[in-house]
Amino acid sequence: MITMVGKSIRRWWALFALPTFAAFIIGFLLPFILGVYLSFCKFTTVTDARPVGLRNYRVALQDKEFWHAMGYTTAFTIVTTIIINVVAFAIAYMLTKAFKGTNVFRSVFFMPNLIGGIILGYVWLLLLNGVLAHWARSITYSSTYGFWGMVMLLCWQQIGYMMIIYVAGLQSLPTDVIEAAEVDGANGRQRLFNVIIPLMMPSITVCTFLTVTNGFKMYDQNLALTNGAPSNTSELVALNIYRTFYGRIGFEGVGQAKAVVFFIIVAVVALIQNRLTSSKEVQA
């Protein structure tokens, strides 16, 4: 049923809803639809598109470098998601206890998150190459070096962000449940694993969701730190797609097809992951 307020507001659509929706069409909807269409075409700009059926997808899926980037990104996402969430939770758990300086420590851990990916990439390039110089090597020595370099970088950047979310979650836990567990004789570890962690599942859902999507979509840090070197082996999917688009003339359609595949994977992973962790949520 529509309310009185709703009725009068509806007439004001041109002022309230139209500006956002018009920008949304230009900035998202039209590019998205056009992008799906172009993935079935051969083109160099938007206007000279010519349908070629599934050819782009065939080329994209036969590209070994694309599959390598996929595997590399998946491994990267799994490793960073685990490290970031475990460390962020541990730090948050400690920093909600009573000792001097917890607020200062929280601020320090959060700070790297505000700095952009490109800037962070060069900060870590200095540090990692400085360390590796002792063995006369650099971050581009092999894709394994690049992998762990990017893992360190992303962990450093995101642990603080996830920590803030975990701190907020821990502070809003019902204290009576935890006290009841203590009265019943549960020790510290039992309280943590059997009471606190199950109650924290909403926060854990949010944080794993964010870390999984951030890991999958990472581009700036990859570009600044390794730029895919040596010979494209440290390429994450986002960089691989970019280079297919802009690195080789005539491969725009293949790039767009890769982007569609990438979008579907991100969407499916996000949905599955969300379903999985939210099914573990409990009510206090």
Partner 1 sequence: MNDEKEIDASERVHHPWAWTVFFTILSLIWIYPIVLVFINSFKKKVYISKNAFSLPNKDSFAGWENYTTGIERTNLIGSFGWTVFITVGAVALILLCCSMCAWWIVRVNNWVAKLLYTLFLFNMIVPFQMVMFTLSKLADMLGLNTPWGLWIVYLGFGAGLAVFIFTGVVKGIPQELEESAMIDGASVPRIFFNIVVPIMRPSIISVAILETMWIWNDYLLPYLTLDLNKYKTMSIAVQYLKGGYGSVDMGAMMGCLVLAILPIIIFYLICQKYIVKGVIAGAVKG
Q: What angle do CA 132, 135, 138 make, to 5 degrees?
A: 40
Q: Which of 72, 109, 145, 147 binds partner 1 (CB under 8 A)?
A: 109
Nearer to partner 1, 79 or 213 (CB): 213
Bridge-partner residues for 26, per DSSP?
none
Distance CA 153, CA 156 (A): 5
Distance CA 20, CA 31 (A): 16
Q: Which of 78, 179, 231, 248 binds partner 1 (CB under 8 A)?
A: 179
Distance CA 88, CA 165 (A): 9
| 93 is an interface residue for partner 1 by CB under 8 A | no
Between the alpha carbon of residue 172 and those of residues 44, 160, 169, 205, 226, the distances in Å are 54, 19, 5, 16, 41
| 122 is an interface residue for partner 1 by CB under 8 A | yes
Q: Which of 59, 61, 79, 127 binds partner 1 (CB under 8 A)?
A: 127
Q: Which of 59, 202, 230, 232 binds partner 1 (CB under 8 A)?
A: 202
Amino acid identity at 3: T
The H-assigned helical ranges of 101-142 are 102-110, 117-132
CA atoms within 13 A on the CB side of 213: 15
Contact set for partner 1, span 13-52 (CB under 8 A): 13, 15-17, 19-21, 23-32, 34-35, 38, 45-46
Q: Which of 69, 241, 254, 257 binds partner 1 (CB under 8 A)?
A: 241
Nearest approach in angstroms of CB 197 to partner 1 is: 14
Nearest approach in angstroms of CB 65 to partner 1 is: 16
| 74 is an interface residue for partner 1 by CB under 8 A | no
Q: Which of 198, 220, 230, 232 binds partner 1 (CB under 8 A)?
A: 220
| 272 is an interface residue for partner 1 by CB under 8 A | no
| 276 is an interface residue for partner 1 by CB under 8 A | no
